[in-house]
Amino acid sequence: MRNIFVLCTGRCGSVTFIEACRHIDNYSAAHESLSHAVGAARFAYPTRHIEADNRLSWVLGRLDRVYGNDAFYVHLTRDTMATARSFLKRYDSGIMHAYKGSILMGAQKKSKEVDPLDFCVDYCETVNSNIEAFLKDKSNKMKFRLECAPSDFSEFWERVGAQGNVNSALETWQIRHNASA
């Protein structure tokens, strides 16, 4: 079976997704396990592995070159405003700091009148658009909404042929992991 990539903005349940996947016996699972790596090492995931990493949305061309249509892709989403409000609580660090300061070339300093929440929404819309464009020609994919996690995870379990303790995996969705909002 192929590798599985959970593509997302972050702040949308990716840690919980991987915690639930730890109840799968026929796949390994990790969150941001190679986010520090460069070159070929950035994509050297073990076979039969589930990886969630919001930074993959910035290297989708390279992910496609390595895995293409041979992987299974999950587009994990959460309500955009809820996700943006969660990012707002971490506005001056992590991916939001990089987005507003580097990717948008210091846009906040140049546009003091822009509400910080608008930057967070813009980030979410940009990442989700990147993922949607990447997935448009992929045949092994599914949409997964955090708001529908138990039913979507059951579908995911079936579609990837997961083996293990599905009941324990579903119980994991009752716990908020890495929560800020």
CATH number for 102: 3.40.50.300
Please indicate, yes or no, if residue 126 is contained in any of the structural domains. yes
Give the pLDDT score at 122. Answer: 95
Give the mean pLDDT of 128-144: 98
Give the pLDDT score at 127. Answer: 98
Nearest CA to 6 among 53, 46, 62, 59? 53
Could you give the number of structural domains in the chain?
Answer: 1
On the question of pLDDT at 85 being above 90, the answer is yes
On the question of pLDDT at 86 being above 60, the answer is yes
What is the spatial distance between Cα 166 and Cα 118, in angstroms, rounded to a whole number? Answer: 39
What is the spatial distance between Cα 122 and Cα 116, in angstroms, rounded to a whole number? Answer: 10
Please indicate, yes or no, if residue 180 is contained in any of the structural domains. no
Please indicate, yes or no, if residue 131 is contained in any of the structural domains. yes
Which of left, alpha, beta for 173 (phi over 0: left; psi -120 to 50: alpha)?
alpha
Give the pLDDT score at 100. Answer: 84
Domain of 89 in residue numbering reads as: 4-172
Please indicate, yes or no, if residue 179 is contained in any of the structural domains. no
Please indicate, yes or no, if residue 178 is contained in any of the structural domains. no
**Among 92-96, 99-103, 122-126, which stretch is predicted with the lowest mean pLDDT?**
99-103
Task: Give the tens place of pLDDT for each residue, 139-160.
Answer: 999 999 999 999 999 999 999 9
137 CB contacts (<8 Å, ≥6 apart)? 69
Please indicate, yes or no, if residue 21 is contained in any of the structural domains. yes
Task: Give the tens place of pLDDT for each residue, 103-125.
Answer: 887 666 666 678 999 999 999 99
Give the pLDDT score at 179. Answer: 64
Please indicate, yes or no, if residue 181 is contained in any of the structural domains. no
Ordered strands of the 72-77 beta sheet:
28-31, 49-52, 4-7, 72-77, 141-145
Please indicate, yes or no, if residue 106 is contained in any of the structural domains. yes
pTM for this entry = 0.94
Give the mean pLDDT of 164-171: 97
What is the spatial distance between Cα 35 and Cα 55, in angstroms, rounded to a whole number? Answer: 7
